[in-house]
Structure 1
Amino acid sequence: MEFSSRSGSDGSDCNDLTVSTTLQSVAFGAEPQLILLPVPASVESWWLTAVALGGQGRYAQARAALDVVDRRTAGPVTDYERRYASLAASTRASFRRQTGWHAKAALDDGRALAIVAGLDSSPSVDAAVCDALTGLAADALGVGRLSLGWRLLAECGERIGGSSPEGLWRQSIRLEWVSAELALASGDFNRALRHADTAVELSGDCGSVRHKVKSDLLHCAAMTGFDASEAAQRARAVFDQCMTFGLLPLAWASSMLIEGVTGTTATPNSSVLDTAIAIGGGVFRSPS
């Protein structure tokens, strides 16, 4: 894991707020391509580090950061620590899901939901619950249980509706992502496009490059049911953005869409990106 030791003008180490702000910018902001990360200290900063590394396809290092969160939240913990234990489990599940391990991901997402079960509702707790619910819905999609996926998303939507919306921007976007994916899996391109459009709208002002790029990619996928040529052209623009910002998992997904629609390959192609992700510790599940 590569970390920088950033210091203030007086030679002292930057405080936790500065570290958290930088990591927020990589994980959920405008600098997803930043390779040299500040040294994490708090449970929150270790989780943000894992998210940042996972977005770049550095899965082995990301899992190591999640291991630190797990160790620091083991045993008797505060509600604050339980929330990050839950977020870490959901994040671990997302890494499994991105490489095709949906059934295993469901175990992590189920654990994430169980960890925060019984906690009083608050924006931070609702965020963790919604991450687990959307994760479980995506896991259900991956094993063909679409009805279960929709039920889980409905529960997530109710949770978002009863909480502070500005605090759950990420969860609101993820809800639209998985809704679009479920609609695509059932062949309902109209519904998929509606959800993808909403995701694009929500992500437009969120400040997160990664969320904007993935929303654009889902919009391209939904467009394949109407204008495959236009969808492929837009997917190439998304692919270029992914490569510019070092978002290898999303670049791989973009390349798969381009290749599936056009029969031609992106550069680098999906096989090259497979190898790059494998070098980073991602293990793709072989089709059964």
Structure 2
Amino acid sequence: MLTRESVLRRAAFGDAPDIHDGEPAAAASPRERWLAAVVLGARGGYAAAMTLLDPLRRGRDPLLAALAGATLASHRRQLGGHAAAVPLDGAALRHAALAAGPADEDGLDPAGALADALLGLAADNLGRGRLTAARRLIATATAHSGSWRTRVRLGWVSAEVALAAGDAAEAVPHAERAEALARERGAVRHEIKSALVLGAALAATGEPAARRRATELVGGALEATGKYRLGSLAWPAGLLAAELDPERADWNRSRVTRELYALLPASDPEGRRLALSSPWVPI
């Protein structure tokens, strides 16, 4: 019989992201509550996630405090709040340095927590145009890349930094590795995000064949966000689809608007404020 933690772990990092709403609501142990927050955030339920994350990041367990802080920071970034994420990731890094515990296959361990915080800080700097700092943080995180989840995230952030620098040729291999690893692992949510990152990288090459592949990847990812109720990925997928398919661009952009207007009421007040003031969020 599956435990609640194993059900939540499969939803967060495995092959069953669309679990019943009652599972996150019934999370009891600190680790279950963190996993539930990951699942809720992936769906765009940022306010519900924050009610779980806030006590954990202020708690006495440095490992869970680090994981919770980095998770809340990622939710802030998803709403365009890269600057707001910095102190959260910084605190997560401090907690991770004090954490202890055994290795975990999904990176829910001290090394994984360090990597989460470092890659979060890299993404924070990327979002503010500080590419040199982002690259330094990525290089530091590489030393803590024992888990598949960390290696996938390394691929995402490395590809995104390369794209921001205008180097699609560098971005593609990073994105390819992340996509292959997520697919091999059977981590549905990570597969979808990897497909979006790879699609963006391929499209940026300007090559017709690469653009066709990008269109297929992004189209499949967009469909999957609806199937699995992944609101946090649905609107970025719609934006990419609009860029890749001019004939359906207006429809996809209107879908993005609908997704965002559905997302905002499920966000906490600070998340809504960040989204409404961010140049990254088209609302």
Counterpart of 2:21 (choices 36, 42, 45) is: 36
Do structure 1's residue 23 and structure 2's residue 16 form an aligned pair?
no
Match in the other structure for 2:76: 96
5+ residue gaps, structure 1, are 1-7, 9-16
Instruction: Quote the Cα distance in structure 2 between the aligned partners of 1:271 and 1:204.
Output: 29
The alignment of Structure 1 onto Structure 2 pairs a total of residues equal to 260
Is the Cα–Cα contact under 8 Å of residues 25 and 31 in structure 1 kept in the other structure?
A: yes
Instruction: Quote the Cα distance in structure 2 between the aligned partners of 1:87 and 1:191.
Output: 30
RMSD of equivalent CA atoms: 1.9
1:181-192 mapped onto 2 (5 Å cutoff): 181-192=160-171
Counterpart of 2:193 (choices 200, 214, 217) is: 214
1:170-249 mapped onto 2 (5 Å cutoff): 170-224=149-203, 225=205, 226-227=207-208, 228-249=211-232
CA deviations on 1:70-110 (whole Å, 9 max, x unpaired) are 45x1xxx3xxx210000000000000000100001011000
SS in 2 for 1:266: helix
Counterpart of 2:243 (choices 260, 264, 283) is: 260
Instruction: Quote the Cα distance in structure 2 between the aligned partners of 1:31 and 1:50.
Output: 16
Query: Identical aligned pairs, as a percentage?
Result: 36
Instruction: Quote the Cα distance in structure 2 between the aligned partners of 1:235 and 1:118.
Output: 40
Q: Please give the TM-score of this superposition, normalised by the length of structure 1.
A: 0.85
CA deviations on 1:135-184 (whole Å, 9 max, x unpaired) are 00000000000010000000010222xxxx3xx11111101100010011
Is the Cα–Cα contact under 8 Å of residues 81 and 278 in structure 2 kept in the other structure?
A: no
1:60-79 mapped onto 2 (5 Å cutoff): 60-70=47-57, 73=59, 77=60
Match in the other structure for 1:142: 127
Which stretch of the first structure deviates more once superposed, 229-238 or 104-113? 229-238
Extract structure 1 runs of 4+ deviating beyond 6 A.
none
SS in 2 for 1:205: helix
Shift of 1:69: 1.9
Match in the other structure for 1:12: none
What amino acid does structure 1 have at the position aligned with 2:261?
Answer: T
Larger Rg: 1
What amino acid does structure 2 have at the position aligned with 1:277?
Answer: L
Q: Please give the TM-score of this superposition, normalised by the length of structure 2.
A: 0.86
5+ residue gaps, structure 2, are 104-108
In terms of fraction of residues, the more helix-rich structure is 2
Instruction: Quote the Cα distance in structure 2 between the aligned partners of 1:174 and 1:275.
Output: 28
Instruction: Quote the Cα distance in structure 2 between the aligned partners of 1:98 and 1:200.
Output: 20
